[in-house]
Amino acid sequence: MTIKNDVLNRYLFDDLHVRGELVQLQQTYKDIVSLHDYSPAVSQLLGELVAATCLLTATLKFEGEIAVQLQGDGPIGYLAVNGNHKQEMRGIVRLSQETEETTLQGLIGKGTMVITIRPEQGEPYQGVVALDRETLADCLAHYFEVSEQIPTKIWLFSDNEKQQAAGSLVQLLPDGGDKEKQQLDFEHLCQLTNTIKSEEIFTLDAEALLYRLYHQEKVQLFEPQNVSYQCSCSEDKCLTAIAQINPVELKSIIKEQGNVSMTCDYCMTTYVFDELKLQPFLNDVKH
Ligand SMILES: [Zn+2]
């Protein structure tokens, strides 16, 4: 049996005050990782963060985007994934040195996770937590605990050999009645989800997996959403950045290089602008 790849599923437990999500990625993992020459462990951590960002964006109740950034003093200086409500993902790793490390602590060192949420309507907001738990999934659960104050548990899987990443999220719904009972239900579902194995989440489709995990519960599965790799860079965004450069400096770059070029760190696309195209930004220069 093969899974329908690159899909996000949301579900509700009928009699319990709990929601769930499941994400399974293959092509998105390949697309994001293949653009760069990362080591397997670095690719795997990036894959975990892509799966995590899918789960996070699926918790949004509005249209917008999320950026999840890991920063630390370890071999990975910076790791970022951006996603939006259409489940379009992109990601990047900046290494400060080559590494054989494989654990989160070994790769990131002492660091923080910054989660920035940008609604299409309204002000952006940001949450920061220390990356002081053993796994990325535990750090994210900690984020929900301090920022959102909603009991949430996350499971993440990533395998560079299989070029697959996946994840699951279980979250208590807010505004319930019997808090004590709901907490127990939540913990019960977490225990069941905890039995999930990587070979299952990488091979079973959502229905089979949910049956395997929760066959004694009534689960309501919603319409799945496709996940894809999509870089949000564009010529217009480059020109917006170029407009910030001092015209004198811009003129000297054109004189030296013949044009101005910008390469997107995420997708490696290079945008080249000649003098004619940059004319609106050169107006202040006196000849
Ligand atoms: Zn790009």
Q: How far is CA 190 from the centre of its chain?
A: 22
Going from the Cα of 231 to the center of ligand 1, the distance in angstroms, rounded, reads: 5
Q: How far is CA 158 from the centre of its chain?
A: 13
Q: For a pLDDT cut of 70, what percent of the chain falls above it?
A: 97
Going from the Cα of 193 to the center of ligand 1, the distance in angstroms, rounded, reads: 36
User: Helix crossing, 179-193 with 206-214: angle to 10°?
Assistant: 120
Q: Compute the half-sphere exposure of residue 235: CA atoms within 13 Å on the CB side of its CA.
A: 6
Two tokens, residue 136: 């990325």
Q: Are 69 and 79 in contact (CB under 8 A)?
A: yes
Going from the Cα of 221 to the center of ligand 1, the distance in angstroms, rounded, reads: 34
Dist. CA 43–CA 168, nearest whole Å: 19
Q: Which residue has the tokens 């001092």?
A: 246
DSSP letter for each residue of 146-186: III---EEEEEEEETTTTEEEEEEEEEPSS-S-HHHHHHHH
Q: Are 71 and 78 in contact (CB under 8 A)?
A: yes
Spatial CB neighbours of 249, under 8 Å, sequence gap ≥ 6: none
User: pTM value?
Assistant: 0.92
Going from the Cα of 90 to the center of ligand 1, the distance in angstroms, rounded, reads: 8
Two tokens, residue 282: 């050169």
So what's the pLDDT on residue 239? 93
Going from the Cα of 268 to the center of ligand 1, the distance in angstroms, rounded, reads: 6
**How, if at all, do strands 18-25 and 64-72 pair?**
unpaired
Going from the Cα of 91 to the center of ligand 1, the distance in angstroms, rounded, reads: 10
Q: How does pLDDT run across 91-136, given as a tens digit for each residue? A: 999 999 988 999 999 999 999 999 999 999 999 999 999 999 999 9
Q: How does pLDDT run across 205-262, given as a tens digit for each residue? A: 999 999 999 999 999 999 999 999 999 999 999 999 999 999 999 999 999 999 999 9
Going from the Cα of 224 to the center of ligand 1, the distance in angstroms, rounded, reads: 26
So what's the pLDDT on residue 149? 84
The helix or strand, by DSSP H or E, that contains position 93, with its residue range, turns out to be strand 88-95
So what's the pLDDT on residue 140? 95
Return the SS3 of 223. coil
Going from the Cα of 272 to the center of ligand 1, the distance in angstroms, rounded, reads: 14
Two tokens, residue 57: 């964006």
| Reported confidence tier of residue 4, pLDDT bands at 50, 70, 90 | low
**Rounded-to-5 percentages of helix, strand, coil across the chain:** 35, 30, 35
Going from the Cα of 83 to the center of ligand 1, the distance in angstroms, rounded, reads: 13
